[in-house]
Amino acid sequence: MNYLQRLLLVGLLLFGKQVFGQTDSVTVLDEVILTDVRLLHFSNNNTTVLKDSVLKRNGSSLTDLLQFNSGIYLKENGLGMVSSPSFRGTNASQTAVVWNGININSLLTGQVDFNTIVPSNYDDVQIRKGGGSVQFGSGAIGGSIHLQDQIQFNSGLENEIELFYGSFETRGVDYRISKGSDQFTFGFGVNYRASENDYKYLGTDQKNENGDFETININGKVGYKISDKQLLKFYHQTFLGDRNFSGTLTAPSNSKYKDYNTRNLLEWNHFKNNQVQRLKVGYLYEKYKYFGNNDRPEFSFGQTNTFLANYDYKITVKNLIFDAIADFNHVNGKGSSVADAKRNTFAGTLLFKHNVSSNLSYDLNIRKEFVNDFDSPLVYALNLEYRPNKKNILYVNGSKNHRVPTFNEIYWITGGGSSGNPEILPESSYQLEIGHALLYSKWQFKGAAYYISSEDRIQWRPNDSGIWTPINISEASNYGLEVSFKYAESWGQHHLVWDSGYFYTQARNDETNNDLMYVPKHKATSNISWSHLNWKLFYQLFYNGSVYTTSDNSDELPDYSVSNLGVSREFKLNKDLDFTAKFQLNNIWNKNYQNVAFRPMPGRNMQLKLNLNF
């Protein structure tokens, strides 16, 4: 690891992304390494960075990662099946997933399936809490999840192979390679996973039937320095899924789901004194096929193609940062039930930050989209930050955010009792947040309180003729409190890290005054890890409070907590060859739990991983 990387790492570890009084070299380095600098300069001070050992521990899916390391509630239709988040009590299409700066929420469903993302392939995953539609577009209402590749020059050749085998005939292979010279760097990773996934439903004589799956994920990145001032980057990601959809406690299933996602992004960077220019072009493709009966050839499908171009100009003048972004996005989609749908979006974004003094700054952000098939609202954000001293950060921010209607919502072909609604409006929300962080060398504390008011929430309801159609009907208010605590201690060769969070969420439908379904009032997480020489040990848990499963709050799922225990031992076989054996026991207390009603999750299960690094 070179000097600058180490410097950056230290910065990230200690202060998150908001390092005050950064040296210029770090700033420039960040801009080189990262693609999404909006997170760096125009974040709302409430970002959690997950990387290194955390990504190794819970890196197999975004579901697994966020369950144990965030306040987000994950609804998983059985292990490995479709999974969606509820962030600060919002719904799945109100969380944006941002891949190297590009919003990748599906234009068919408005969501990302969190079991189709493999976090261990990224250099870091960041959880940005709160509204971010100005910076990250549609769906950044509850918050956004950022998948980030870093482009690192001057790094040695690294190969990593990991084989794993676990309960329910779950097996997989991960391979990663990376190398960086002065001028050129590349990284490549591939993951294969498969599972029979036929776990027993605890307390019954049933098991998880028709839940087997097979997935392949590929990530690639290339960086090339054209000159001192010019840099080219290319990112790629492909996911191929072939999953049967498992049944429930009360109904069998024989359906199958195949999905294919590919994302490509080419970026040109130009650095000149106090100015940075970026030009990005991207191509995204998604397709799914759903087989109601996996023994039969009939299927339904949907697909979209997205072409995007983005120009970003940033200039720093003394203590002012200006950033102007012009975005063009063309999406076309079709499917069994979506007629040829097209959407052209042009968006202009202005970001402005003023470091008023060494301990006070604010930023003002505004974005306007022009879309051919509906009117998109003006969205904006204001963040204010005050640092009375080096150890204290206080902030307040407010924003207006939106979620655009999906192709399904607008273009669903009328038939079979349902119909899209061309008149549908985007969902919009206002929010306010205050927070405080205390950063000491050994421990840090973060606390935030927020309020979200959402309107024009889109729901499918039968209309006068009994046809189900999406309408802007409901309003919701969410508020909550989030606290996290991190403690790190070292003595001799012993290192201890303890990282915990508690999340209180109240989300209410303003029409009915009932609580929203599938939002736990309480969630808690705790991770403790200890390392000594070549040994590492961790214990982690999350707690989900009870959730309502009906909109009138007449039925609920009980609360539960799930714990994992893991141990690993590293063997340095020679200077260039490391071997690590890892053993992990999941759900060690054999808790019978469901995060979606009637879809039990597995009891105690284990996993063995063998990792070779050379």
Partner 1 sequence: MKMKFNKLSVLVVLSTLFVTGCSDDDNAPIIDETPIEEEPPVEEEPPVEEETPDAYENGILIANEGPFNNGTGTVTFISEDLSVTEQDIFNKVNDEDLGNIVQSMAFNDSIAYIVVNNSHKIQVVNRYTFESVAVIEEDLLNPRYFTVSNGKGYVTNWGDTSDEEDDFIAIIDLEGHTVTNTIPVELGPESISANENYVYVAHQGAYGQNNKVSVIDPTTDSVLKTIEVGDLPNSMQWDAQGNLWVLCGGAPSYAAEETNGALVQIDATTNEISQTFDFTTIQHPGGLNIDGNELYYALAGGVYSISTDATELPTEPYIDGVSFYSMTVNEGKLYGTDAKDYASQGDLLIYDLETKTLTNTLAAGIIPTGVYFN
What does each C-alpha distance from 499 to 122, 529, 531, 540, 544 come to in angstroms?
21, 9, 15, 9, 17
**Where does this chain touch partner 1 (CB under 8 A) — which range of 27-35, 235-243, 464-472, 575-583?**
464-472
Convert residues 358-397 into a mask of x (bound to partner 1 by CB under 8 A) and - (unbound): ----------------------------------------
Q: Are 398 and 430 in contact (CB under 8 A)?
A: yes
456 binds partner 1 (CB under 8 A): no
Cα distance between residue 348 and residue 368, in whole Å: 6
For 451, counting Cβ atoms within 10 Å of its Cβ (0-12 exposed, 13-18 middle, 19+ buried), the class is: middle
- Per the document, the length of the chain is 614
Cα distance between residue 274 and residue 26, in whole Å: 14
- Residue 4 is encoded by which pair of tokens? 């600058």
402 binds partner 1 (CB under 8 A): no
Choose, by CB under 8 A, the member of 2, 23, 25, 300 that binds partner 1.
300
Type of residue numbered 310: N
- Neighbouring C-beta atoms of residue 99, cutoff 10 Å: 24
**Where does this chain touch partner 1 (CB under 8 A) — which range of 4-12, 125-133, 517-525, 567-575?**
517-525
596 binds partner 1 (CB under 8 A): yes
Residues in Cβ contact with 65 at an 8 Å cutoff, skipping those fewer than 6 apart: 50, 54, 55, 58, 59, 119, 125
Choose, by CB under 8 A, the member of 205, 227, 228, 251 that binds partner 1.
251
Choose, by CB under 8 A, the member of 82, 96, 134, 384 that binds partner 1.
82
**SS3 category, 205:** coil
Choose, by CB under 8 A, the member of 13, 360, 413, 573 that binds partner 1.
413
Minimal distance, residue 147 CB to partner 1, in Å = 19
Choose, by CB under 8 A, the member of 35, 58, 103, 111 that binds partner 1.
111
428 binds partner 1 (CB under 8 A): no
339 binds partner 1 (CB under 8 A): no
Choose, by CB under 8 A, the member of 4, 49, 65, 92 that binds partner 1.
92
Q: Which residues pair with 313 in a beta bridge?
A: 277, 324
Choose, by CB under 8 A, the member of 32, 476, 524, 601 that binds partner 1.
476
The full DSSP string for 141-171 is TSEEEEEE-----SEEEEEEEEEEEETTTEE
**Nearer to partner 1 (CB atom), residue 415 or residue 492:** 415
Choose, by CB under 8 A, the member of 175, 192, 260, 290 that binds partner 1.
290
Task: Give percent helix, percent strand, percent coil of the chain, each to the nearest 5.
Answer: 10, 60, 30
Choose, by CB under 8 A, the member of 5, 277, 332, 549 that binds partner 1.
549
Positions touching partner 1 (CB under 8 A) are 75, 77, 81-82, 84, 86, 90-93, 108-109, 111, 113, 245, 248-252, 255, 288, 290, 292-293, 296, 298, 300, 302, 336-337, 408, 412-419, 457-462, 465-468, 474, 476, 507, 509, 512, 514, 516-519, 549-552, 554, 596-599
